Amino acid sequence: MWFTTREILETIRMIELEHLDIRAVNMGINISDCSDPDIKKTAENVFNKVVDCAKDLVPVAEQVSAEYGVPIMNKRFAVTPVSYIGASSHANSYFPIADAMDRAAHRVGVDYAGGFSAFVHKGIQQNDRVLMDSIPEALSRTERVCSSVSVASSKAGINMDAVLYMARIIKETAEATAEWGGVGCAKLVVFANVTEDNPFIAGALHGFGEGDCTVNVGISGPGVIKGVLSRLKDADLGEVAEAIKKTAFKITRMGELVGREVSRRLGVSFGIVDLSLAPTPEQGDSVAEILEEIGLQRCGAPGSTAALALLTDAVKKGGAMASSSVGGLSGAFIPLSEDMGMVRSAEEGALTLEKLEAMTSVCSVGLDMITIPGDTPVETIAAIIADEMAIGVVNNKTTGVRIIPVPGKVAGDRVQYGGLLGESVIMPVSRFSPERFIRRGGRIPPPGKYLGN
């Protein structure tokens, strides 16, 4: 992969002035061979396997970062969905595996560990139920473990029993971490159409179609896109889209270069580069501000969904032009607490929960890091999840919900998490109840157009 002098200088400017970084280098690790009838032995096997595979991940990533001058913000690992690994033990809790993952994360020095996960989009097996019941303890008693549960897909439809089950788990997780603003829920995401190669937390896991050990890279550049658009004051929307596409092309090339070099030095296969505009609480590193640079007075104003559609499509096209290894989610994230432009728009009333939901129909993931009143009923949380799952199922795209019912907080209050999780305003939810709809249970069938082979 060859780079021109101009590309190198442009990349240096992006890094120094516009917050360009590698957001995550994630090692996917197959732990299917760690299963044992004794849950303690399973946990020990998981710890040893992860440490053996990932022991050099952090030093190698730091070497590559220093040599290429590219910041790598997070190093992570993700494992095979734990509900399958714990099944043979017949244990009533998989917390020992979560604990082993957390200890391994500390030992090898990574920031997060993903894969405390289950797939229940068509039905809930006993091992899945054990995992879901273990989530509140796992996320409140570990520091770095993250969890995800698949409750819907375009082929299977929406498992409404699982949706309600997970709404209850979310409430329990929030209460278990009430002292810290329900932060355990920031490490938990409910998915439709989950991807197997997503390097971003909290949804990262090592999918069944992956190899034994793989490195996936997530790259982010909202500040870079904003900087480019700030120099196109009079351009029409076609020119705006073209500028975003060209910028995404350059960012993707850098991400693949770093990812392949890390993989080569570790002696493992390179998976994908996920080009997702993932914001941070830093000033100028905001997806909301990109939409405002395109021409909206505030993110959430009429036109926000159209502007976000333009942005997401252009980013995907630029990435696809740059690499045949683009994967994961790739597009634009709109996490409320992690984007100060989003928080400002919510505080001013420009951005509502309903408008955010509409915008998720065209972005990378879904309702992300949404903070709501702590007394929100379980059925309302389930209905919010179901709405988002419907968007994913009908449109055959990945959607997720990472929602935090903050204990003791009401609409308009603020909550602060710090670091990449940022701070947020508590968003109001509808006072009208969906309880009768949610309590029907069962499964919403898949759309007819996705029944073919």
* pLDDT tens digits for range 64-73: 999 988 889 9
Instruction: Report pTM.
Output: 0.94
Percent of the chain with pLDDT over 90: 83
Confidence of residue 18 (pLDDT cuts 50, 70, 90): low
327/256 Cα distance (integer angstroms):
11
* Tens-digit pLDDT profile for residues 369-380: 999 999 999 999
The confidence score (pLDDT) of residue 11 equals 58
Confidence of residue 365 (pLDDT cuts 50, 70, 90): confident
403 in a structural domain: yes
Per-residue pLDDT, averaged over 402-426, amounts to 95
401 in a structural domain: yes
Confidence of residue 15 (pLDDT cuts 50, 70, 90): low
Domain count, the chain: 1
- Structural domain harbouring 35: 1-448
The confidence score (pLDDT) of residue 17 equals 47
- What is the CATH classification number for the domain harbouring 141? 3.20.70.20
453 in a structural domain: no
371 in a structural domain: yes
394 in a structural domain: yes
Is the pLDDT assigned to residue 424 strictly greater than 50? yes
Among 9-23, 78-92, 248-262, top mean pLDDT goes to: 78-92
367 in a structural domain: yes
The confidence score (pLDDT) of residue 318 equals 93
107 in a structural domain: yes
Per-residue pLDDT, averaged over 89-99, amounts to 97
Per-residue pLDDT, averaged over 419-434, amounts to 95
263 in a structural domain: yes
